[in-house]
Amino acid sequence: MVNALISSLSLVALAAQGSLAWKAGSECTSSYSYINYTSVPGFFVQDDPSSSTTNFDYTTSNFGLINQTYPTDANFTQCGAPATQWQRFAHYVNSLNAASPASVAYKVLFLARHGEGWHNAAETYYGTPAWNCYYSLLDGNGTAVWADALLTPAGVAQAVKANTFWRSQLSQQKMPAPQSYYSSPLSRCLITANITFGDLSLPAARPFVPTVKEFFREGISIHTCDRRRSKSYIHDLLPSWKFEDGFSETDLIWNGVTAEDSSGQYARSKVVLDEVFTDDEATWISVTSHSGEIGSLLSVLGHRSWSLSTGQAVPVLVKAERMPAPYPSKTIAAWSSAVTCAGPPVSSGAGGCVCSTGATALPTVV
Ligand SMILES: *[C@@H]1O[C@H](CO)[C@@H](O)[C@H](O)[C@H]1NC(C)=O
Ligand SMILES: *[C@@H]1O[C@H](CO)[C@@H](O)[C@H](O)[C@H]1NC(C)=O
Ligand SMILES: *[C@@H]1O[C@H](CO)[C@@H](O)[C@H](O)[C@H]1NC(C)=O
Ligand SMILES: *[C@@H]1O[C@H](CO)[C@@H](O)[C@H](O)[C@H]1NC(C)=O
Ligand SMILES: *[C@@H]1O[C@H](CO)[C@@H](O)[C@H](O)[C@H]1NC(C)=O
């Protein structure tokens, strides 16, 4: 499986040959070696190093957009009511794109974490150590199923809250609706995105037709919550949604034995961002994903660490630049296995799992 992932990473090279427009009105056909991402500071509370992450709620803070004037306010004209902060920000971002060279594109990503799933509830219920050593390897406990978990009632409520927020932002703040939507293939994200956006009154030119992308899925652990269902299942659940090219019928990545580490996750997070930035000229992009994966995406984007509780979202103004020089090499660690117990552990933690008698540690398979 390491090989499957590494071979997908040749997509980096593929993306580098792309000649598609990556922002509206730009036909950039010059060759480049890689895309360098930077998160542009000064616009959102979330990337201000002095702001606190504790209890931050994007739904009570206008998504974190900082109140300020922009140099482009002066030539922003519209009829009727005074322009909102979001309208002026949208004009500013569009102006950045218009004024930047063909090798540079600006996009605003709305990165949303799914609402609470049954795996989150189970980890809380059993405690993280016992969860990691044993319960996470099961499909469920007879009451709850957490393999490719669905949302708990609390998770549905979080998605409904996101839906209420977006409805208000679109009508009150005149916030730009996303032009493109992407989702992880895991059920908790599909359902969260659908509840968040599925029934909004959206501009006709910006319909809610998400694309499912494999590499927006959560960090691949050996937990069953990271194993996805089939393409057919997703299609039957949400028939109008699209899949990226090459999306496999079954999950070819999760194996239940070995897990990717942060270096592998970083590499494929860069691949998926490269795909989106190469194939999609949209500026306003929604991604529904996971806490670990959004953390990895933020790292590729050069954004400071920003953790999201279930149902929360973070916006990022991204500057992407096509660079001529070769991409600095990065080492990607091989996938590794973890020691787990065949039954509930006696104890666990930093020292690893201590399995109860009669429930010895499962063999380490490489
Ligand atoms: C990406 O761009 C930033 C800002 O211009 C620069 O500091 C950084 O060195 C670049 N990184 C790479 C890998 O090109
Ligand atoms: C931003 O301005 C709005 C409207 O004037 C106000 O309600 C809000 O409290 C301000 N936010 C901050 C963080 O100052
Ligand atoms: C708007 O103002 C900005 C900043 O002064 C300038 O760069 C841009 O060209 C102006 N756009 C138009 C359409 O006048
Ligand atoms: C199964 O796990 C859920 C948490 O996901 C918990 O609420 C429930 O009580 C558990 N059932 C049993 C039989 O332990
Ligand atoms: C998706 O959202 C639409 C619109 O709200 C709804 O009709 C449909 O039942 C939802 N499907 C799922 C699987 O959540």
User: Splitting the chain (366 residues) into consecutive groups of 10 residues, what average pLDDT does each group show?
Assistant: 44 44 66 92 95 91 97 83 93 96 95 98 91 93 97 98 98 97 98 98 98 97 97 98 97 94 95 95 98 98 96 98 86 86 73 66 44
Residue 57 falls in which region: left (phi positive, over 0), alpha (psi -120 to 50) or beta: beta
Residue 2: the pLDDT is: 43
> In the CATH scheme, what architecture does the domain 2-128+148-338 have?
3-Layer(aba) Sandwich (3.40)
Q: Which residue has the tokens 């091989």?
A: 334
Q: Measured from the CB, is residue 149 less than 6 Å from ligand 4?
A: no
Q: Tokens standing for 101?
A: 């060279």
pLDDT digits (tens, 9 = 90+) for 193-238: 999 999 999 999 999 999 999 999 999 999 999 999 999 999 999 9
Q: Measured from the CB, is residue 95 less than 6 Å from ligand 3?
A: yes
Atom 9 in ligand 1: residue holding the nearest Cα: 36
SS3 label, residue 79 = coil
- The DSSP line for 276-325 is HHHH---SEEEEEE-HHHHHHHHHHTTPPP----TT-EEEEEEEEEEESS
Share of the chain above pLDDT 90, in %: 73
Residue 363: the pLDDT is: 45
pTM comes to 0.91
Q: How far apart are CA 11 and CA 3, in angstroms?
A: 13
With the most atoms of ligand 4 within 8 angstroms of its CB, the residue from 123, 141, 223 to mutate is: 141
